[in-house]
Structure 1
């Protein structure tokens, strides 16, 4: 995936999930998650995977148990994002060949996640950790560890986080809130993508 952004569609319903997903893709966001505390999340996942699975990495957020990992896989999802670090969730995701992005706040959680095979680390909530906290954690992590900031990330602070060394971001309420039309989400997505590129002129 060329653009290191994950679109988080918390609260989306199956009725308009494909239309919204298409809008994200058109803006350049190729990784899309449906949090499991959304209405009928597995149905939304199924529809997204069927419609966009050959063009995007579709998956679920707020995945808390290995059983949920298997449900996401059965629905066609190949991306697992969690708010916490549970090694059993990471291991089951990797066993099924899925990407695993667990939430971490401390170095202990970060190393536990990496030892379990995490694809990358989700700093969550990023506003709690802060850029200086992220820098301190980065110093001790293995070279090449992917760090994505999630929680309070958007147009206004992309530049600061990128300058601090973050690899990517998960976009929640800055991108989608229930009630927005697909066109409105597409406009937000385009603005966020443009801001991400503007924060680093070398980004391709």
Structure 2
């Protein structure tokens, strides 16, 4: 199975934690309109699989939809049946990563330590997700980057804001996952678009 070409998209993953199936299409539209086309629906959201399916059908190729906080093989299999190509974990679980890669998913694996990072890469993860990034800071990113393979995509996730995004990118991150500063359960889709645009402005600053 082929995995997704995430490099064809702006390397910002929108995390819609808590979104419901009835709301998801409006927020997908808001994100796409702003320019963010990598979208993650965490499994601890209400009826997450239905939201993934609805988002996939609504996006119709305009965005890559996936699931986050994936912790077990059953959820990997359920995600794969939707045709989604992106899976994000909060932790490093090599057997789960191998299972997901075999199912054709691009895996952004959560890690904190160098040992976890190399275990994730050894299991086939295509992207590393430093979590929680804000607790570690940009200096930690530089230290980690010094030992990782130079081609390894590293995303900062956890506490990323429009104000600190440039720090993480400057330290060597390829991109970032955008959580609570982008989307909070129940917010209007207009707020999602406005917050997404703030992140994109920050990303584009030189």
Q: Shorter-chain-normalised TM-score: which range?
A: over 0.9
Paired residue secondary structure (1:97): coil
Unpaired runs of at least 5, structure 1: none
Contact 1:65 1:88 in 2 (8 A): no
- Aligned match of 1:54: 61
Unpaired runs of at least 5, structure 2: 1-7
Task: Confirm or deny that 1:81 pairs with 2:104.
Answer: no
- Aligned match of 1:161: 168
Kindly provide the CA deviation profile for residues 20-67 of structure 1, in whole angstroms up to 9, marking residues without a partner as x.
001101111110010000011011011011111411111000001122
- Aligned match of 2:154: 147
Paired residue secondary structure (1:134): helix
Normalization by structure 2: what TM-score?
A: 0.93
**CA distance in structure 2 between the aligned counterparts of 1:53 and 1:42, rounded to whole angstroms:** 17
**CA distance in structure 2 between the aligned counterparts of 1:93 and 1:20, rounded to whole angstroms:** 26
Normalization by structure 1: what TM-score?
A: 0.94
- Trace 1:20-169 onto structure 2 (pairs within 5 A): 20-169=27-176
Shift of residue 75, structure 1, vs aligned partner: 2.7
**CA distance in structure 2 between the aligned counterparts of 1:2 and 1:16, rounded to whole angstroms:** 23
Shift of residue 115, structure 1, vs aligned partner: 0.7
Matched residue pairs, number?
Answer: 199
Paired residue secondary structure (1:7): strand
- Aligned match of 2:198: 191
Paired residue secondary structure (2:197): helix
| RMSD of aligned alpha carbons | 1.0
Contact 2:141 2:168 in 1 (8 A): no
Paired residue secondary structure (2:104): coil
Contact 2:9 2:38 in 1 (8 A): no
Shift of residue 2, structure 1, vs aligned partner: 2.9
Paired residue secondary structure (1:149): strand
Kindly provide the CA deviation profile for residues 50-95 of structure 1, in whole angstroms up to 9, marking residues without a partner as x.
1114111110000011221111111332110000011122112211
